A and B are shown apart, each in its own frame.
Chain A
């Protein structure tokens, strides 16, 4: 765990010279990466800010010029925008609840010894490696298609009427599909974390007569709390901008029933060519993501010190 003991900086050397030369070398070696990321993170951001303050529609070049905050005003008073924020929250919250809640239980389950555990683990985490367009179309067609889907066949087999899930409950169905992709991620991370749990401690608790539930609440959960935090934050960053799954299944519909913030910005930009409005939405997305990122960075920074 503690690598700091052997982590003294390299001593002066024939190749390195003094401390100043070392600093210079270090800077030169890092500069390509730093320069690239600086340009990548600053230039597009400034452009988004700039466009968000301008009237700019790709199909209507006559309306140009400074727009002040009108793009923001238009966006914030647009009921579709509020719906998209709400949908984003439901999508993120729903997937997080499923993946973290179930993920914790599954991590405990797959930490137990049983025949073929290695294979079972591999099967469980597999959906995480499926590309989003495949995952979404697989569920939309092969699984949930109201006529030909396997789930519809199962429902008919037990005497129920199949449901057209994606048009009746578009958002809930999307939550389910995205959770299928991200639950394995939670299991993968939490299983890794749980394996570092001290078995002696659990053994002692069992000797003291603690039941399985008591052990889970008093020992396993506290041990996992940090890993759970990490899973929540990393998933949130990705889930805030779920796009492909919506694009190939519902295209945000019916109406805007399954439009999240990312899809709203996309449709403003590339379907309605409203550069100004889409950019204002982009700024909102960046602000929301930054709030989450601040929490994540603090957690990671704390880890850097140990």
Chain B
């Protein structure tokens, strides 16, 4: 009796778990499939479950839509913003973790509070400043803004990782006469490398998917993929297959990154409040 009940429960859990998972993922799967259709197939009613796959939409996206231009912008902006953010936040997080002062805790919380400013609250001044300095529709403009918006998160996340490095190991290096620079580069860095990598990954994901500033500050020259995809929103843009192919290309790399780093993401996104 009890065994059949457990079996039944197991069956319900399995079916429910898979049904919900497939339902949540279905739009993404459909987008992926539609990218391999031609345009008439993509808008056929009722939709074709079976079709002869074609790469024509992908060819269009590359040939006519200048996909590489936008993809390059996304890569350059995300990578540079992340690298600069790491370069600024590693020393800061090091100091907070290993040379804590009476104000360290307050500084950390204040940094976090800057992240909570709604971007739309400062849209007007940032737009006018960018216009005045010629940074409108420039990669530099977005790199600076992304770096600044991610700085609190990278400092915070690195701080939580550095705190897990046992102090005695650093002290041992110090006893052997290592300078502060050697201590950081030769002892701390190798130990904290996984933490630094996942911090960088989170920053990359956030930059890649950022839409408020990219939509408002870029149009063509510096437009990343988010802005490029938004250009499909015009009513005459009923190109389902092309939209799907372009979207699949735009989200695929970051989705794989996300899958690979779920655990660290939780930590970064909740500022260590959930472990």
Contacts and interface: CB of A to CB of B under 8 A. Distances in A.
Given A138-B247, A147-B45, A189-B270, A131 B208 contact: yes
B120 A244 contact: no
A153 B48 CA distance: 11
B62 interface: no
A247 B215 contact: yes
A192 B275 contact: yes
Contacts of B244: 138, 142
Given A184-B24, A300-B112, A148 B43 contact: yes
A44 B121 CA distance: 9
Interface string A29-44: 1101110110011011
Interface string A10-27: 110111100000110111
B120 A142 contact: no
Interface string A218-253: 000000001100100010010011011001110000
B135 interface: no
7 A-B pairs with least C-beta separation? A47-B125, A244-B211, A26-B99, A293-B116, A44-B122, A129-B258, A29-B95
A117 B91 contact: no
Given A148-B45, A247-B215, A289-B116, 16 more contacts: A6-B166, A6-B168, A7-B163, A14-B174, A15-B183, A23-B99, A25-B95, A26-B101, A30-B91, A125-B262, A131-B225, A143-B30, A148-B47, A241-B212, A265-B123, A266-B120
Given A36-B88, A134-B247, A188-B262, A234 B270 contact: yes
A91 interface: no
Name the prevailing secondary structure of the B interface residues.
helix
Contacts, number: 331
Interface stretch (A61-69, A105-113, A167-175, A197-205): A105-113
Nearest to A119: B21
Interface of B: 10, 13-14, 16-18, 20-22, 24-25, 27-28, 30-31, 34, 42-43, 45-47, 88-89, 91-92, 94-96, 98-101, 105, 107-109, 111-114, 116-129, 148, 151-152, 155, 163-164, 166-168, 170-171, 174, 177-180, 183, 205, 208-209, 211-212, 215-216, 225-227, 229-230, 232-233, 238, 240, 243-244, 247, 250-251, 254-255, 257-259, 262-263, 265-266, 269-275
B240 A133 contact: no
Contact of A133 (B174, B229, B238): B229
Contacts of B108: 304
Contacts of A34: 92, 107, 111
Nearest to A177: B27
A192 B263 contact: yes
Contacts of A153: 45-47
Nearest to A192: B266
Given A7-B167, A133-B229, A142-B27, A188 B265 contact: yes
Given A109-B17, A248-B233, A285-B118, A227 B111 contact: no
Contact of B171 (A10, A142, A147, A196): A10
B206 to A, nearest CB: 11
Contacts of B27: 127, 138-139, 142-143, 180
Contacts of B243: 137, 141-142
A129 B254 contact: yes
A15 B180 contact: yes
B111 to A, nearest CB: 6
13 contacts: A11-B171, A15-B178, A120-B17, A129-B251, A137-B229, A148-B47, A156-B46, A189-B269, A189-B270, A240-B118, A241-B212, A247-B230, A265-B124
